[in-house]
Amino acid sequence: MLGPAMAAITEQEARRLWKEADAVCFDVDSTVIKEEGCDELARFLGKAEEVAELTRLSMGGALDLRHAVRRTLAVLAPSRRDIVRFLGERRLRLSPAARTRRAMSGAMEFREALRLRLELLRPSHADVSRFTSQLPLSVSPAISELVQKLHSRRVKVFLVSGGFHCLIRPVAAALNIPAENITANKLLFDFFGNYAGFDESQPTSASGGKARALQRLIDEHKLRCLAMVGDGATDLEAAPPAHVFIGYGGNVVRPKVQEAAPWFVHHFQELIDALSESG
């Protein structure tokens, strides 16, 4: 939930801070892209139903995310080859008609949810490679134009996600966002490419991790005004340290996020237009 200072921000103030931001952090799943990456990987590996239920629990706030991720990967167990193939077949689609299906509502502890999902999936390196090579991930309408607009204003753009770094890299590349600007969970594989867990040192593997990740960005880049844009509860709780939170409901509107956000948009074009507003 937003802190007291953030809760007092009006939409007018949020719009002003958006225009003054020297950096913007975007959530990825159901925000930058229309899919939930882990759910898509699960579907690719034939384990969609089991993982979708865990996703619903984790996004609703009932289960610790790291535990959920572990259980999810245990089910998938994607190999390095699977991931490469998946990335190749899921070539990024920048379709303006893309619509998101899911968003986070904040009921499950993030790390618990992460652990559970990964234990279900147990994706090998081959699984992930196969997934990324075969199935395209679709970006949300106008996100490409928005990122381009921000870059033209010399605004730093970061992707901060509870998803997996290996699945996000192709999306970042398509949007001209440097790989070093991604903060996300990292899968671990053994010598043979079998699933060996996930890096629990990553801040985004735990509840409250996005807030810690954003604070680190603020400190490292000496940011004076950082905006967080996302669809879910974990994005909402990252403000503060984010100086302003903007809720995104391009396809699925989560009442908890919509009610708490000082400014809530349904299309990224609204954020593009706001950058050109006078006053």
Please state, for a pLDDT cut of 70, what percent of the chain lies above it.
Answer: 78
Which of the pair, 50 or 203, is modelled with greater confidence?
203
- Topology of domain 4-275, CATH: Rossmann fold (3.40.50)
Residue in the block written with tokens 């259980």: 71
pLDDT digits (tens, 9 = 90+) for 120-165: 888 889 988 888 887 767 889 999 999 999 999 999 999 998 889 9
Q: Is the dihedral of CA 146, 254, 215, 197 positive or negative?
A: negative
Q: Which residue has the tokens 């992930």?
A: 128
d(CA 130, CA 113): 24
Q: Is 22 a catalytic residue?
A: no
Instruction: Find the angle CA(145)-CA(146)-CA(147) to the nearest 5 degrees.
Output: 95
Contacts of 23 (CB under 8 A, 6+ apart): 155, 156, 157, 158, 217, 221, 223, 225, 226, 227
pLDDT > 60? residue 179 = yes
CB 59 within 8 A of CB 103: yes
pLDDT band at 96 (very low <50, low <70, confident <90, very high): very low
Catalytic residue list contains 27: yes
- Residue 68, pLDDT > 70, answer no
Exactly one of 27, 39, 82, 235 is catalytic; name it.
27
SS3 labels along 214-243: HHHHHHHHCCCCEEEEECCHHHHCCCCCCC
- The full set of domain ranges for the chain reads 4-275
Q: Which residue has the tokens 């880049």?
A: 221
Least confident of 20-29, 52-61, 108-117, 145-154: 52-61
* For residues 70-76, average pLDDT: 69
Q: What is the mean pLDDT of the chain?
A: 81
- Reported as half-sphere exposure (CB side, CA atoms, 13 A), residue 170 has a value of 27
Max CA-CA distance within the chain? Answer: 58
User: Is 103 a residue whose pLDDT tops 60?
Assistant: no
Q: Indicate if the pLDDT at residue 17 is higher than 90.
A: yes
Would you state the pLDDT for residue 9? Answer: 80
Rounded to an integer, the average pLDDT of 211-220 is 94
Residue 30 CA to its chain's centroid (Å): 7
Burial 5-32 (b: 16+ CB within 10 A, else e): ebeebeeeebbbbbeebbbbbbbbbbbb
pLDDT given for residue 48 in this prediction: 79
Q: From 240, 206, 210, select the one nearest 225 (Cα to Cα).
A: 240
Q: What is the pLDDT of residues 224-277, one digit of tens each?
A: 999 999 998 888 888 899 999 999 999 788 888 888 899 999 999 999 999 987
Contact 161, 186 (CB under 8 A): no
CB contact at 8 A, 128 and 166: yes
Catalytic residue from among 29, 82, 231, 235: 29
- What pLDDT does residue 244 have? 93
Separation CA 113–CA 121 (nearest Å): 12
Rounded Cα distance, 232 and 27, in Å: 8
Name every residue whose Cβ is closer than 8 Å to that of residue 130 and which is 6 or more positions away in sequence.
44, 78, 79, 81, 82, 83, 84, 85, 86, 88, 89
- Give dist(CA 160, CA 158) in Å, integer: 6
Please give the residue that has the higher pLDDT: either 64 or 176: 176
